[in-house]
Amino acid sequence: MAIDAEILQTLDQMPESLKQELLHYAKYLVENYSKAISQESYIMAIHLTEC
């Protein structure tokens, strides 16, 4: 939980414009992480069925 506190502390120091950019980037990361995990799971499933 220490990382959450550090993130919030850092956010408190940011101007609103930077917070907005950070929000866009965080959403981008979450979306792409989800896609990457899905692709990885799909590849693993194919590999397991081929063995």
Q: Quick one: pLDDT at residue 26?
A: 94
Under 8 Å between Cβ of 45 and 38:
no
Helix, strand or coil, per DSSP, at residue 14:
coil
Specify the pTM.
Answer: 0.61
Q: What are phi and psi of 14, to 5 degrees?
A: -90, 145
Q: Quick one: pLDDT at residue 15?
A: 98
Q: Which two tokens stand for residue 35?
A: 């896609």
The sign of the CA dihedral 12, 32, 34, 51 is negative
46 pLDDT above the threshold of 80: no
Q: How does pLDDT run across 13-39, given as a tens digit for each residue?
A: 999 999 999 999 999 999 888 777 777
Q: Quick one: pLDDT at residue 51?
A: 65
Q: Quick one: pLDDT at residue 33?
A: 82
Tell me the C-alpha distance between 5 and 7, whole Å: 5
